[in-house]
Amino acid sequence: MNRIFAIIIFTGIPLVIAGAIFHWNDILMFFLSCLSIIALAGVIGRATESLAIVSGPRVGGLLNATFGNAVELIISIFTLKAGMIGIVLASLTGSVLGNLLLVLGLSFFAGGLKFKRQNFSIHDARYNSGLLIFAVIVAFVIPEIFSMTLNPQKTLSLSIGISVILITLYLAGLFFKLVTHRGVFGSSDKEEGETEIPEWTKRKSIWVLLLSTVAVAFVSERLVQTFETIGDKFGWTELFIGVIVVAIIGNAAEHFSAITMAMKNKMDVTVEIAVGSTLQVAMFVAPVLVLVSLLMPEPMPLVFTVPELVAMITATLLVINLSNDGESNWFEGLILFAAYLIMGIGFFLL
């Protein structure tokens, strides 16, 4: 797998550069860009996995989620620049659904096939539950409800206020979890993982992360330019492109790393990647995009469509119900994955 990623990167990125110079067909550029970003995400996953071994499961999972979401953030900024606000909001929805249902579901399923029952920190599960309810159900629903009676300018002002509160609370949550109450959130992962030797050194991992992020920024701009043609060619709506296509590509690093960690029975890292990434998207990436959009020709209010809200709320409640006991198995993973498939079909037909 690592060799495949290397081949794709060293051939895909030069081809993307050549395609940008010589104006190749948009469909070809779309697939080249997707493959390159997925390969780069795989490399990002390897680098953050090495850092996770050095820094511990909680910080490692946070790093993985952060650099994984950096890919989506970069894609979204270029999409905002192109004026495709619908795709940006849909990609945020897709990221929430993808992390909670697809990533966590496949992780529970893959790990459950190898281990009959897997455990993770129940304190983390309860902490995540509270924040998920706040971020998805409170912060995302309120703008939609109030936008029904507010004019566009006041709706944008409400979105800005909520964005500032979300970012502040997210940073306070990190301080609470990693500093003031660090001892409460103990890891339940197997002790043998602590003696594991990282694949790359800390310095090499950081350099790989930085260079990969720069490469993703370049390829993402090319990818965004193909969305309109792809939508017309395959009959995909902006909603489907954002919820399914952009979300899966943008979160490829989390997908790869979370499943790998689950198969190693490192469920604290897996949950931190999947659920932690969801919280980061809802409480940091989304509000940052709202603030960044103020610099763009068309600002983006934090207002989702009703199908997007219902899907995110349903996914949140399902994950909370299945994970609050601090245990997982392959059947619970299959339930989450089945929910993702049902929602995917709905967004395709919408």
- In tens digits, the chain (350 residues) has pLDDT values of 566 666 667 777 888 888 888 888 888 898 888 888 888 877 877 787 787 777 766 676 677 677 767 777 888 898 898 888 998 999 899 989 999 999 999 999 999 999 989 999 888 888 889 999 998 888 899 999 998 899 999 999 999 999 999 999 999 988 888 788 776 665 555 544 446 677 788 888 888 888 887 888 788 778 888 888 888 888 888 888 888 887 787 777 677 778 888 998 989 888 888 898 899 999 999 999 999 999 998 999 999 999 999 999 999 999 999 998 999 999 999 999 999 999 999 998 98
Handedness of CA 7, 10, 13, 16 (dihedral sign): negative
Comparing CA positions, the residue from 341, 275, 342, 330 lying closest to residue 107 is: 330
Handedness of CA 261, 262, 264, 270 (dihedral sign): positive
CA distance 293 to 284: 14
∠ CA 243-62-33, rounded to 5° = 40
Q: Where are the domains of the chain?
A: 2-349
CA distance 142 to 131: 15
What confidence score (pLDDT) does residue 183 get?
A: 67
What confidence score (pLDDT) does residue 7 get?
A: 67
> What's the CATH class of domain 2-349?
mainly alpha
What confidence score (pLDDT) does residue 187 get?
A: 56
Identity of the amino acid at 275: V
Token pair 């709905």: residue? 346
- Residue 84 belongs to what H/E stretch? none
What confidence score (pLDDT) does residue 157 get?
A: 95
- Residue 25 belongs to what H/E stretch? none
CA distance 47 to 52: 9
**Helices 57-81 and 202-224: crossing angle, nearest 10°?**
20
Residue 97 near residue 308, CB atoms below 8 Å: no
| Helices and strands: H and E segment counts in the chain | 17, 2
Neighbours of 309 (CB within 10 A): 19
Neighbours of 342 (CB within 10 A): 12
Long-range contacts of 262-266 (CB under 8 A, 24+ apart): 262/107, 262/108, 262/110, 262/111, 262/118, 263/110, 263/111, 263/114, 264/193, 265/111, 265/114, 265/115, 265/118, 265/189, 265/190, 266/57, 266/189, 266/190, 266/193
Residue 223 near residue 242, CB atoms below 8 Å: no
Handedness of CA 179, 184, 188, 191 (dihedral sign): positive
What confidence score (pLDDT) does residue 2 get?
A: 60
Q: What is the pTM of this model?
A: 0.84
CA distance 254 to 68: 6
- Count how many residues are written for the chain: 350
